[in-house]
Amino acid sequence: VRGRWLTPATAGIAVASVAIGAAAVWFVARDTGDADRAGEKNGTVTSGAPTGSGGSPSPSASTGSPTGGTGPTRTPTPGPTGTGAGGGAHETRQDTAGFTIAVPTGWVREELKEGVFYRSPDRTALIQVFRVSEPELSPLAAVRQASTHLRAGTRGYEEISVGPVSGSSGAAELVYQYDSEESRGVRRGVERVFVAADGGKWAVLTAGPAAEWQVTQDHHAAALAAFRPAG
C-alpha cells in the first residue's frame, strides 16, 4: 500500500508493503516524537519522514511554500471559520501524485512514501491522500481493518463510527479520535475509502483538533467534492 491509515499524525503512516499494525504504531509514535524507536521496533522505514522533530513544521512548512506538486488553481470555495485548522476559502490543487483535490488556502504540501499530506501552518490539522493498493480489500473492509489496528496501538484511541457512506455506492468511512501532541489534545479524524473514476481505491483522510470538528468536516467535504484521479 502506498499510504496507510492515520493515527496521531505528524507526518505519515505506514510505508509501502508494511503491515497495517506496524504502520499504525509508527504513526502514533510520530505524534509523540518517538518515531525512530517505533520504526526500529516495528521494522518500518522512517527515512521518508520530514525534517524537523516532534510536532515542529518542516522547513518548507515554516516558509509556507509547498513542496512538489503543481501550483494551486485558485478557485476559492466558501469555508468554515477556524483557527489553526485553517478556516476560510479552499483552493483546488492539481497534484503531481495523480489527483486533483481542494485544500484550505495556505496549507502546505508534503509528500512522503505514505502518501500526500496537506497541513495547516501550525500542523494541528491535515488532509492525507493515498491509494489503497490491496485488491482484496473492499472500502468497508479497509476502514474496519484500520480501526482494529489503531485501537491496538494508539493512545486514547476511540472509534466513533465506521460503516458504509449513505448515498455513496461502495464507499466507507471511519471516524475516530486519539490523543495528539500536534493537535495539543484530542485529535479527531475521518477517513473515507472509495473507488474513484479511474477504478482504483483511494483514501482521503482529514483530521484536526476535536474541538474544531465542524471545521474538519467542512475541509473533508470540500476535499471529496473536488477529488478527481488524473487521467
How far is residue 34 from each of residues 46, 49, 53, 219, measured CA to CA in Å? 11, 12, 9, 29
What tens digit of pLDDT does each residue of 169-211 get? 899 999 999 999 999 999 999 999 999 988 999 999 999 999 9
Q: Please choose, from the candidates 146, 156, 132, the residue with its C-alpha nearest in 3D space to the C-alpha of residue 31.
A: 156
**Domains within the chain, CATH numbers bracketed:** 55-229 (3.40.1000.10)
Confidence class of residue 168 from pLDDT cuts 50, 70 and 90? confident
Q: pTM for this structure?
A: 0.69
- First-to-last alpha carbon distance for the chain, in angstroms, is 21
More confident residue, 168 or 148: 148
Q: What is the pLDDT of residue 141?
A: 96
Q: What is the pLDDT of residues 5-34, one digit of tens each?
A: 544 443 333 332 233 333 333 344 445 443
| Alpha-carbon gap, residue 114 to 47, rounded angstroms | 11
